[in-house]
Structures are given as C-alpha cells and as structure tokens.
Amino acid sequence: MEQERKSFGVVIVEGILGLLARLPLKFHLACGRAVSWLLREVVHYRRDVVMVNLSRSFPELKYKELKALYRKAYDHFGDIIAEAIWFGGCKDAEGRRRLNESRIVDIVNPEVFNRLYDSADNTMVLMSHAGNWELIGGWHSYNHNPDVPLKSDFSEIGVVYKRLKSGLWDRVMRDNRCNSIRDTGFYGYKESSEILRFAVTHRRQKFVYIFLTDQYPYKGATKHDIGMFMNQPTVAMTGGAALANKFSMNVCYLRWTWLERGKYSVEVVPLCDDASQHSPEEIMEKYYAELEKDIKAQPWNYLWTHRRWK
C-alpha cells in the first residue's frame, strides 16, 4: 500500500527512535523505570486521573494499597513506552526473527484463532489497553507452536485506530506499530472513519479486524450503556461489535497477561460465532466482563492514565 511522503519532522523523529531501537530490550526496560519515575514523581503526568480511576475501581483498597498500585501502574506505563520503542526497531524479516527470538509475546492457543478464522469470512478481535497493545503489529511472530501455524496472511489483518490530532505523531506511531510487516506491502492500520467502507468492499474476503475498544466513546461514535464496569456506570463504544453484527463475523477477545517485565502471553477468548445472531450490546457486555476479570487479576497491567469514565 503506497503511503504519503514523510515530513521532515517525521524523518528526524523516526531517525532518533531508530537509533535507540537498536539497543537491547533490557536497556530499554532499564530506561523505562527512569521514565516511569519521571512521569510519576516529577511531571505528575495525569496523576489525578490515575488516582481517581484507581480509587473508584478499587474502593475496598486502603490508601497505602492504592499508593502501591499507583506506583506499579506507572512502572508498567514506563515499560509500555520502552517496549514500544524497542519494537519499532524490529523491521521486516529480520525484525520478525528478532521478535520471535525475544518471545516478548506468546500466543497460548493459536488453534482457537485458527478455528475462528476458518469458520467465517471475517473475524473481529476486540482488545483493550491491557498488556502492551503497541506490540500487536508483530502478531505473526508470537506463535511459538510449530505444530499449529497461524492461518492468516499478513495482508488479511488490520488494526482499526483513531487518527491522532498531531500529524507528526500520528505518522510516527503508525510506522512504529507495523515496522515488522512493512516489507509485506501491507501497512496494517485502518482509520476508524474509513472502516465501514473498507468492510463493505472486502466483505467477501478473508480479513481479521482488530479493534481497541475500551475508550470512552469519541464524539459521534456509537455508544451504549453497559451498566457497571469496575464499580462505575460505564458507557462504551459499540463500533467493533456493530461491524461484526452487520457482517456476521466471529468475535473474540484478546487476553493479555503480564508474565514478567518484557514478557506477555496472549489468549484468544471466543465471545461468539456469527455476531449477526447477537446484538452489539450483548457482545460488548461479554467483552467488558472478560476485561474486568483481567483487570482485577492484574490491576497494574492496564492503562490508567486515560479517562475511561466521564
């Protein structure tokens, strides 16, 4: 897919990040701790948002317990940044080898993904800001089971995203997220405002849509009141579920589990076959039930710096 030319600013930023990305993952993780400390103790980056989110989500915790969770959440945030910069250096075929050898992510049940892929023209994958979503572009490098290869092709997977206000950072982030598959000729990202048209024109082709779908609804986005989530009344976007319903997709949830610093496992959790038999609201309620279980099991393994409730 042909891309627009890069601005001078994008070239400079990507050049700096490219040099940093060549360094080992352990180096980046060490820097991640410094970044987390700086954001937490000096900059106070979204400190009030994090504390409000945590205190309302875990009302049973005492203040000392909340403070410990607060610090751990920022440590994880620093790791996300560090891992994302390192990931940006995993370019093309050599980068995929680097990802495979690092085992930064391990898909634990590729056979479940293959079943969903085989039994419908399109598959909808719903995921959250748990684990490290910035690594999803390396999907085909994360299956370490040689007996069950992933059946999808690079050209059959796309991540749906919301364009950033900054054109520079929008381009840098998009490039960084899919460097490992750039040599395949497929860019890998679809802007949310264009996804319906894309789905209509590709409805008879095998395709896997990956939606990050735990944000508070954007202005103009389809939304639904799902009731209580993490002890708070929650309004959710139903865009991915609605698309799946319209085109009879199979739907699954990606469960990201933190194993240790720089290591995650991903489990494919089926939510439904043929989403046309389920309302978007039903699908989203199942999704948020799975997400709540994961957050309660590993509360630091989530991005608390954004407003999920308003």
Residues 6+ apart with CB under 8 A from 202: none
pTM for the structure as a whole: 0.92
What CA–CA distance (Å, rounded) separates 272 from 277?
9
**DSSP state at residue 247:** T
Q: Which amino acid appears at position 96 of this protein?
A: R
Instruction: Map residue 122 onto helix, strand or coil.
Output: strand
pLDDT the model gives residue 173: 86
What CA–CA distance (Å, rounded) separates 239 from 193?
10
Q: Which amino acid appears at position 119 of this protein?
A: S
Q: Which two tokens stand for residue 209?
A: 């849509």
Please give the helix or strand (H or E) that residue 24 lies within, else none: none
CA distances from 293 to 17, 101, 159, 229, 289 (A): 35, 30, 24, 10, 6
pLDDT the model gives residue 221: 76
Instruction: Map residue 45 onto helix, strand or coil.
Output: coil
Angle among Cα 187, 222, 301 to the nearest 5 degrees reads 65
CA distances from 23 to 18, 56, 162, 261 (A): 10, 39, 30, 16
What CA–CA distance (Å, rounded) separates 250 from 253?
11
Q: Which amino acid appears at position 289 of this protein?
A: A
Splitting the chain (310 residues) into consecutive groups of 10 residues, what average pLDDT does each group show? 74 91 94 97 96 97 97 98 95 90 96 96 96 93 95 85 86 85 73 87 88 85 86 91 95 98 98 96 95 98 92
